[in-house]
Amino acid sequence: MMGLHQWPKGKPAQVIKVTGDESFIRRLGDLGVYEGVILEVIGRAPLRGPLIIRYSGTTLALREGDAACIQVQNCPPHS
């Protein structure tokens, strides 16, 4: 398990936990980022700028500090 801000570009990840205050967790949930979602880091801005992620047909830019609050792991194997 690691923060999304550390996840390598191009490798799918599964969200296992979102931390932070209630309004932050609710905002991410409203945007479709919650436990169980599969996402991928598709880009990073230079100088610790935002991460660009893609999930469920949506593309979203997240500040590095916000991405650090999203705990991810390798996607489970398909059965």
Domain presence at residue 41: yes
pLDDT reported for residue 79:
47
**pLDDT tens by residue, 21-75:** 999 999 999 999 999 999 999 999 888 889 999 999 999 999 999 999 999 999 9
Domain presence at residue 66: yes
Side-chain half-sphere of 1: how many Cα atoms within 13 Å?
Answer: 8
Identify the domain containing residue 69 by its residue range.
Answer: 2-74
Overall number of domains in the chain? 1
Domain CATH for 12: 2.30.30.90
- For 47, counting Cβ atoms within 10 Å of its Cβ (0-12 exposed, 13-18 middle, 19+ buried), the class is exposed
Domain presence at residue 79: no
Q: Tell me which residue of 8, 10, 60 sits closest to 34, measured CA to CA.
A: 60
